[in-house]
């Protein structure tokens, strides 16, 4: 018999899991997501979350309390009589009343190999740290921040030039498959959990705009990891002097290259840039308000001569 599920998620990353659980035949009794947010130039329009829109397409009831401080919101959750809550990037630290508000508790799909990279930005932080492997874990939730016991692990290799966007999509799909497998085992009474290791804990802090500027005074490998960990959003950036004034340009892809020089110096006609140790080649860029372009196309409209110093 299919489980009665409350699904809780907000961004596009969560949609694949919602759709996979619905396709597996489970009874999704309600979908919880973050409330619609102001959008548009003037902020006058309210924009529904990707999960909200996906739930509507599936004909599922949607609820979006601001938080669960009100007793009526907690009681409404419990009154659904669900077997389990499935949580994927919901966006709130859930109170105990919600974690225990279903018969079997709450299970979270988290995009890291816990206990490494607990917290808000595990995919970006894994790439920025130069990790060569990450994964999706299905974890039974407790009151801590990503501290609960692990039920299922799916490992994913991080390729040397892989960007945040590429890894995001790979983990999104792996996470959907992992959660369907975990819920099937839970339904069969065969989902065991293992406590997380006490060593190796790292926290994935939310990305701050102040850390997005590229610093060529760092080793090339660190600069490369910084660029790909922030691509395509929010985007690592540098400034290029165009028509006598500095213009901000996002760098959406790069690769390690041969070369040496003063940090930030353009070494050739293909945007090879010297770092503190080694060099990188910028391979995809985007001007403010422009389209993402491969380096060759970018240089046709924006020549950057060898010897130029970028900052």
**Residue 115 annotated in ligand binding:** yes
Coil, helix or strand at residue 97: helix
Q: What does each C-alpha distance from 121 to 24, 56, 59, 205, 276 come to in angstroms?
A: 29, 27, 31, 6, 27
C-alpha angle with apex 307: 298 to 297, nearest 5 degrees?
10
**Number of alpha carbons in the 13 Å side-chain half-sphere of residue 9:** 31
Instruction: Give the end-to-end CA distance of the chain in Å, rounded to a whole number.
Output: 60
Distance of alpha carbon 55 from alpha carbon 49, whole angstroms: 10
β-pair type (245-257, 236-242)? antiparallel
Distance of alpha carbon 102 from alpha carbon 294, whole angstroms: 50
User: Buried (b) or exposed (e) across 50-75, using 16+ Cβ within 10 A?
Assistant: bbbebbeeeebebbebeebeeeebbe
**Residue 14 annotated in ligand binding:** no
**Residue 230 annotated in ligand binding:** no
Whether the CB-CB separation of 33 and 52 falls below 8 Å is answered with: yes
Please report, in range form, the residues annotated as the binding site.
112-115
Please report, in range form, the residues annotated as the binding site for (6S)-5,6,7,8-tetrahydrofolate.
112-115
């Amino acid at each position: 018999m299919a489980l009665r599920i409350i699904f809780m998620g907000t961004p596009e990353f969560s949609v694949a899991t919602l759709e996979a659980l619905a396709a597996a035949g489970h009874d999704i009794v309600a979908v919880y997501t973050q409330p619609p947010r102001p959008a548009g130039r003037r902020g006058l329009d309210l924009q529904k979350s990707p999960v909200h829109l996906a739930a509507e397409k599936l004909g599922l009831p949607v609820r979006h309390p601001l938080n669960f401080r009100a007793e009526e919101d907690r009681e409404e959750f419990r009154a659904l009589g669900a077997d389990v809550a499935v949580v994927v990037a919901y966006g709130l630290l859930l109170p105990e009343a919600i974690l225990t508000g279903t018969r079997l508790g709450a299970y979270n799909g988290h995009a890291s190999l816990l206990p490494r990279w607990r917290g808000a930005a595990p995919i970006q932080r894994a790439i920025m740290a130069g990790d060569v492997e990450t994964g999706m874990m299905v974890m039974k939730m407790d009151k801590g921040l990503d501290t609960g016991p692990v039920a299922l692990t799916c490992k994913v290799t991080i390729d040397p030039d892989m960007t945040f966007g590429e890894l995001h999509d790979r983990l999104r799909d792996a996470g959907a498959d992992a959660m369907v497998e975990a819920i099937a085992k839970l339904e069969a009474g065969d989902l065991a959990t293992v406590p997380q290791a006490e060593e190796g804990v790292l926290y994935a802090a939310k990305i701050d705009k102040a850390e997005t500027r590229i610093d060529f005074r760092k080793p090339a490998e660190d600069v490369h990891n910084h660029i790909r960990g922030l691509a395509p959003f929010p985007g690592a950036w540098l400034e290029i002097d165009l028509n006598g004034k500095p213009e901000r340009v996002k760098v959406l892809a790069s690769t390690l290259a041969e070369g040496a020089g003063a940090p930030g110096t353009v070494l050739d006609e293909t945007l090879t840039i010297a770092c503190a140790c080694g060099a990188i080649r910028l391979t995809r860029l985007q001007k403010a308000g422009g389209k993402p372009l491969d380096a060759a196309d970018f240089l046709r409209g924006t020549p950057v001569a060898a010897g130029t110093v970028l900052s």
